[in-house]
Structure 1
Amino acid sequence: MTCAAIIVAAGSGSRARRASDTVAKQYLEIGGKAVLLRTLEQFLANEKIDRIQVVIGSQDNDLYNEAIAPTLTGQLAEQAKAKLLPPVHGGDTRQISVLNGLKAIKTENPKHVLIHDAARPFITDAILARCFESLKEHKACLVATPVTDTIKKVDAKGAILETIDRTTLWSAQTPQAFDYAFILNAHEKAFNQTLHAFTDDASVAEWVGEPVHIVEGSPSNRKLTSQEDLTMAETMITPTASRPLTDIRVGTGYDVHAFDEGDAVIIGGVSIPHTHKLKGHSDADVGLHAITDAILGAIADGDIGTHFPPSDPQWKGAASDLFLKDAVRRVKERGGKLSNIDMTIICEAPKIGPHRPDMRTAIAQLCQISIDRISVKATTSERLGFTGRKEGIAALATATVRLPEQED
């Protein structure tokens, strides 16, 4: 194997969090996608990278799985299946996390490795190409940009002591690219000598005496370390975000599922005890299916079957919240917002009324909108038709979406 990439995503990212955030910055969304996913997509799409090893926090398995879920159905699904290795857990420092990642790919036996921060989602193919070119001649390469600001040295009280000559100063970025065997050996030596606080991998290479060569980076390849950075990134990803959301779209969805042998039905994300279950390729949540199709209809983006074909065995028994989350993501990627959801369940049994509050709560959480924008109603068909004969359940849904006004 020629080249592997290690994506370091084990940090807490506390500086970038808003007061309401409970997850690290790499799992926060910009333009409808987790920062980590946007970073991964750049490496998945690059033909010269054969394997990708992500290093995550020991408590972040669920966050990681949710963040990368869109790769299962997106344009890079095949690359993800071929390249993306199961994640490994990091350590107490970035250096230990990288070492864990390096050890995890040892059986892959790569010739080169790129080590990249998950919080740098704006890496480009041009920068990666320069890394590959530099690795032809050097064991250690560092993506960096020349310092353009005037640099001041100050004392503990903030008084300027001197102006630093910036002509030889560069600001380090990632990826940092290495001969794999060399950087693994260097990291192991540092660890064995209880030196665990190197802040980047180029420093480890310097410590063992290997020259590190500069690869030109880009100012846009910045690390998202603050809330201001996330706001900037959102603007870069969705330039339409500044436009008023005056393009109002309405979509409708309709779904039907027959009864099958069982003891509960799942409707609107809520399991309801019943004499039967609903039959379907997934979990047969007739309510969430109708809502998903309504949202997709509002943005004219096909239907559930378009994105999650029932002929694909990977969706057998899948939880329908996966489909709804994907539809919500598609709205966000267009810079839009869900305005409201109105769902009607048509059945003779079970009784929907007692479960309506839980359904509204579940749908509001999945759609990431307030509960006062979710309506759940129920009716019978007066014993007419298949629902009247208690052969199944039907659901109708209407979704209103606000999109940025398009320029003519």
Structure 2
Amino acid sequence: MRTQMRTDVIVVAAGRGQRAGEGRPKQYRSIGGQTVLRRTLERFLGQPGIRFVQPVISPEHAELCACAIQGLAGVLTPVAGGASRQASVRAGLEALAGDPPDLVLIHDAARPFVSARLVADAIAAAAAHGAAIPALALVDTLKEVTEPGFLGSGPDRDRIRGVQTPQSFRYELILAAHRAQAHGELTDDAAVAEAAGHRVASFPGDPANIKLTTPEDFVTAERTAALLAELADVRTATGYDVHAFGPGDHVMLGGVKIPFEQGLAGHSDADVVLHALTDALLGTIGSADIGFHFPPSDPQWKGASSDRFLAHAAGLVRAAGGRIAHLDATVVCEAPKIGPHREAMRARLAEIVELPMARISVKATTSERLGFTGRREGIAALAAATVRLPWID
């Protein structure tokens, strides 16, 4: 059995945060009754694979930090940062050298909404590639200022990404890279790794993983913290569906039309992925199953597009005051091949339930030629849904 890599986290909290306005440094300001720093540290503590969290602070903030981290197990004694972010990260890396981890995540204290999914992906990406960062596709078009008041052409938006933290690395790789750039002023750790000759991979970021920079960001953060506090009832439910092959020239899976030598037999379009996900969402709010809401005996659903079923279930979750946190589907079949269509399925599912693609997972497997799927008699799908709901005693 492979031994799990030891992973530590460096949380950079040495800045003054002057753009956040008057008052305490932003990492020691309160949102939802907790300091930003404490919220950030708690996001890593207890996550699978995480060993220790190493804060890097300004010495003049030692008392504020002591109050913020009081009672948190797994947080190492804070170390003093330097005059730049690069110097502060170097201080954190050197502090871990006595008992070095295999992997290290480097995160900004001002990103208190980092998700468990992002932490897990950062660990996996560092283990696979040695150096990796979370990245988001840009929504807005970028333009270059050619002269005051006028804009010219800009870079190709499809080739540009916004990057976040935690940035993740093999510890020895990033420590050596920082030591080689000891007097530099590089703005993030990916740049330090690249300057040392390492390629840096990317993995999907999370739009919710915002960095608190301006006073307006803190208004948004307060709203987010309040919403998370209200939606404290986290529920997970599963769904399952199966349809037999029949005459046809395509199958519908995850809302995507996939050319195939057969179709799937069913009262609607027989999309097993959408049906399983619909049942999973209905299960989170205790609202029976797909057959209850859309009876096969009702002729209006004959040949219906199953995206209507999933959208209906998502609407019921929202009507109950809930938010969908994650959807996961596994397709079981010998054919057709799901891999070439996986991203299109994720995109379509995200569109139907109005979620970022980062919150949608689609996987595929075979049954090793066993059972009805192994005999190529049909396709099955398993699904899980996680939602956050208002707490009800």
TM-score in terms of structure 2 length: 0.56
2:7–2:123 contact (8 Å) kept in structure 1? no
Give the corresponding residue for 2:266.
Answer: none
Q: C-alpha separation between the residues in 2 aligned to 1:407 and 1:5? A: 35
Structure 1 residues 111 and 230 mapped into 2: Cα distance closer, same or farther (>3 Å)? Answer: same
Partner SS, residue 106 of structure 1 = coil
Give the corresponding residue for 2:199.
Answer: 211
Structure 1 residues 56 and 156 mapped into 2: Cα distance closer, same or farther (>3 Å)? Answer: farther
Tell me how far 1:152 sits from its aligned partner: 0.8
1:235–1:241 contact (8 Å) kept in structure 2? no
Q: Which of 207, 211, 235 is matched with 1:223 structurally?
A: 211
Q: C-alpha separation between the residues in 2 aligned to 1:179 and 1:52? A: 16
Structure 1 residues 241 and 180 mapped into 2: Cα distance closer, same or farther (>3 Å)? Answer: closer
Partner SS, residue 209 of structure 2 = coil
Structure 1 residues 27 and 214 mapped into 2: Cα distance closer, same or farther (>3 Å)? Answer: same
Give the corresponding residue for 1:124.
Answer: 115
Q: Does 1:92 align with 2:96?
A: no
Structure 1 residues 149 and 96 mapped into 2: Cα distance closer, same or farther (>3 Å)? Answer: same
Structure 1 residues 240 and 133 mapped into 2: Cα distance closer, same or farther (>3 Å)? Answer: closer
Tell me how far 1:66 sits from its aligned partner: 1.3
Q: Which of 127, 130, 146 is matched with 1:139 structurally?
A: 130
Q: C-alpha separation between the residues in 2 aligned to 1:181 and 1:156? A: 45
Give the corresponding residue for 2:305.
Answer: none
The 5 A counterparts of 1:278-357 are: none
**Matched residue type, 2:125:** S
Give CA-to-partner distance per residue, 1:77-121, whole Å, 9 cap, x none. xxx33x211000000000000000000011121000000000000
**Matched residue type, 2:57:** I
Give aligned pairs, total: 229
Q: C-alpha separation between the residues in 1 aligned to 2:133 and 2:208? A: 16
| Unaligned runs of at least 5 residues, structure 1 | 73-79, 243-405
Q: C-alpha separation between the residues in 1 aligned to 2:146 and 2:167? A: 32
Q: CA RMSD in A?
A: 2.0
1:2–1:112 contact (8 Å) kept in structure 2? yes
Give the corresponding residue for 1:321.
Answer: none
Give the corresponding residue for 2:186.
Answer: 198
Give the corresponding residue for 2:53.
Answer: 52
Tell me how far 1:129 sits from its aligned partner: 1.2
Q: C-alpha separation between the residues in 2 aligned to 1:36 and 1:154? A: 36
Partner SS, residue 121 of structure 1 = coil
Give the corresponding residue for 2:6.
Answer: 2
Give the corresponding residue for 2:35.
Answer: 34
Give the corresponding residue for 2:100.
Answer: 109
Give CA-to-partner distance per residue, 1:52-94, whole Å, 9 cap, x none. 100001201000011123xx2xxxxxxx33x211000000000
2:14–2:57 contact (8 Å) kept in structure 1? yes
Q: C-alpha separation between the residues in 1 aligned to 2:127 and 2:109? A: 25
Q: C-alpha separation between the residues in 1 aligned to 2:168 and 2:12? A: 14
Tell me how far 1:146 sits from its aligned partner: 0.9
Q: C-alpha separation between the residues in 2 aligned to 1:145 and 1:240? A: 23
Partner SS, residue 186 of structure 1 = helix
| Unaligned runs of at least 5 residues, structure 2 | 231-390
Give the corresponding residue for 2:163.
Answer: 172
Q: C-alpha separation between the residues in 1 aligned to 2:208 and 2:28? A: 20
Q: C-alpha separation between the residues in 2 aligned to 1:156 and 1:177? A: 39
**Matched residue type, 1:63:** L
Tell me how far 1:240 sits from its aligned partner: 9.4
2:12–2:109 contact (8 Å) kept in structure 1? yes
After the TM superposition, list the runs of 4 or more consecutive aligned residues in structure 1 that deviate by more than 3 angstroms. 239-242
Give the corresponding residue for 1:310.
Answer: none
**Matched residue type, 2:164:** Q
Q: C-alpha separation between the residues in 2 aligned to 1:203 and 1:111? A: 20
Q: C-alpha separation between the residues in 1 aligned to 2:228 and 2:123? A: 34
Give CA-to-partner distance per residue, 1:267-300, whole Å, 9 cap, x none. xxxxxxxxxxxxxxxxxxxxxxxxxxxxxxxxxx
